[in-house]
Homo-oligomer: A and B are copies of this chain.
Amino acid sequence: MLILTRKDIDQFYTMEDCIESVMEAFALSSSKKVKAPVRTKLTVEHVQGNALFMPGLVEEKGYLGAKIVSVFPQNSSKGKPVVNATIVMLDVETGEVKALIDGTYVTKMRTGAATGASIKLLARENVKIGVLFGTGGQSEKQLEAMIATRHFEEIRVVGRNFEKTLDFCEKMSLLIPEMKVKEDHKNVEITAYKDGNDAVAEADIIVLATTSTKGLFDGNLLKNGVHISGVGSYTKEMCEMDKTTVLTADKVYIDDRDSMLEEAGEFTQLIDQGIISEDFYTGEIGDLILGKVPGRENEDEITIFKSVGISAQDLVSAENIYRKAIELGIGQVIDFD
């Protein structure tokens, strides 16, 4: 069995690689080639923590594994991450466990890559201003996905706490030179903004990575041609885009219809109010990749991609990481025999 930590993965698996994995995952998901049973949840009452077990299989590709994710809110008061994940991969021919992979890191990568895929597929080619909402655990890889896919002059970061936002911007400015992205893309200014509305008015691309329960900016301020990627909200109570944003968009893409109807608050709240129907969206992003639904058709359209995250992203990313690690001889081998 091979153990792969964040440091192992970082040696060879780039954001660009992960975007490819995630695009494959979205296409497989929309082709109904992913078996992903309902996830099992165990609640630890005394700390209000949830442990989730999410197995998945893509038989024709040889992908078989499970992600174990825990969300323990009280961890933050202990100085520990609230979300922890581990991915276990099995050999599809023998059922043997073949790899244990740092799922927390893969989750950040593949969530960044969802944004990256949507930018590649839906954003205009020439952009100047990006905006990133959120400075939490997912934000670093969201920023990397933005930089990996477009050359921005400026990326504005908006957080709830301005001190923390300044710290995040400083940390990112130091990290960017080390990122495995195109050299000219690294020439970008990372700036902290206090007010979301100030930040978005000139934005070409907006990325939402928060657990907000109300829209992060006024949709009336959006300029034509903007692309929005929302990856933060994942319950019916959460909502990162206001009604105007959703209704103004020319095209809306989602990761998975069933998951969207269960977990994407910005849409389900409007569906429940009868403002939009369950079929309001343009298509699943996988169907866009497969050429079954149209993408952006001109420079003026406003496009939205909303992802709640699907297990295929973990499965495909983890398998691709595993295969490349084997090829390169990276990681620690544990012998159980």
**Footprint of B on A, CB under 8 Å?**
3, 5-6, 35, 37-38, 40-42, 44-47, 49-51, 53, 55-57, 59, 64, 66, 68, 70-72, 75, 78, 80, 84, 86, 88, 90, 92-97, 100, 102, 104, 332, 334-337
Contacts and interface: CB of A to CB of B under 8 A. Distances in A.
A329 B68 CA distance: 26
A96 to B, nearest CB: 5
A70 B6 CA distance: 27
B336 A6 contact: yes
A306 B318 CA distance: 40
A53 B53 contact: yes
A20 to B, nearest CB: 24
The 7 closest A-B pairs by CB, nearest first: A70-B95, A72-B95, A86-B97, A42-B57, A37-B40, A53-B55, A102-B336
Given A5-B334, A57-B42, A51 B90 contact: yes
Contacts of A94: 49, 70, 72, 75, 78, 80, 84
A50 B92 CA distance: 10
Contacts of A334: 3, 5, 332
A68 B42 contact: no
B37 A335 contact: no
A95 B71 contact: yes
Nearest to A92: B44
Contacts of A97: 68, 84, 86
A68 B45 CA distance: 24
Nearest to A47: B93
A334 to B, nearest CB: 5
Contact of A42 (B35, B38, B336): B35
A94 B80 CA distance: 8
Nearest to A57: B42
Contacts of A66: 53, 68
Contacts of A71: 95
A84 B96 contact: yes
A82 to B, nearest CB: 9
Given A46-B59, A332-B334, 8 more contacts: A38-B40, A42-B56, A44-B95, A50-B95, A53-B55, A53-B66, A70-B95, A86-B97
Contacts of A102: 336
Nearest to A80: B94
A243 to B, nearest CB: 35
A329 to B, nearest CB: 18
Contacts of A92: 44, 47, 49
A212 B62 CA distance: 32
A75 B96 CA distance: 10
A336 B5 contact: yes
Contacts of A88: 68, 86, 88
11 contacts: A3-B334, A5-B335, A37-B40, A38-B40, A44-B57, A44-B64, A51-B95, A53-B66, A68-B97, A72-B94, A332-B334
A207 to B, nearest CB: 26
Nearest to A36: B42
A96 B68 contact: no
